[in-house]
């Protein structure tokens, strides 16, 4: 199974969980608690990933990054954004150096990354 397959399978489950019983689904609980709670969890997972990255322990870093990706997908799902949109944006950037992209951004009108 490719990374794309996994993301899409998970995104399909997340979509279905929007209608699920919060007593039986963690994802449904997140949606019931609302956007601010989803954002809080995402922030926590980002911090835990940073801590694992600093410690340099590989297994915790993998575990926390999975939590971070998962909660990112829940946020995208909240806004009905498919992982397709993110993968398309990464594909668009593929082969474009971050330094070249930054130089283009500073010589053109405002962009989302300003
Ligand atoms: N990939 C995940 C996944 N990764 C992490 N988590 C949950 O995310 C939470 C992470 O929060 P924390 O680390 O803060 O743990 P916690 O202390 O228990 O959480 P809080 O009490 O602070 O809310 C845990 O409850 C994990 O179980 C996930 N929950 C669900 N999934 C996927 O989503 C699907 C749907 O899940 P349900 O909606 O629960 O059926 C599952 O089949 C999985 O494929």
ipTM of the predicted assembly exceeds 0.90: yes
Phi, psi of 80 (to 5 degrees): 55, 35
Domains in the chain (CATH in brackets) are: 8-105 (1.10.287.1080)
Separation of alpha carbons 68 and 42, rounded Å: 6
Angstrom CA distances, 55 to 41, 51, 63, stand at: 21, 6, 13
What is the value of pTM for the model shown?
0.91
d(CA 103, CA 60): 36
- Find the mean pLDDT for residues 7-30: 97
Tokens of residue 76, six digits: 């995208």
pLDDT one-digit tens code per residue, 50-101: 999 999 999 999 999 999 999 999 999 999 999 999 999 999 999 889 888 8
Instruction: Provide residues with CB under 6 Å of ligand 1.
Output: 10, 13, 17, 25-28, 44, 67, 70
**Ligand 1 center–CA 3 separation, angstroms:** 19
Q: Which two tokens stand for residue 88?
A: 């398309």
Residue closest via CA to ligand 1's atom 5 equals 67
């Amino acid at each position: 199974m490719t990374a794309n397959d996994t993301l899409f399978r998970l995104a399909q489950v997340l979509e279905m969980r929007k209608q699920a019983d919060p007593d039986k689904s963690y994802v449904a609980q997140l949606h019931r608690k609302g956007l601010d709670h989803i954002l809080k969890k995402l922030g926590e997972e980002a911090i835990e990933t940073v801590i694992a990255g600093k410690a340099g322990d590989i297994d915790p870093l993998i575990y926390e990054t999975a939590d971070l990706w998962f909660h990112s997908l829940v946020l995208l799902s909240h806004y009905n954004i498919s992982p397709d949109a993110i993968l398309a944006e990464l594909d668009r950037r593929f082969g474009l150096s971050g330094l070249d992209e930054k130089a283009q951004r500073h010589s053109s009108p405002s962009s989302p990354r300003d």
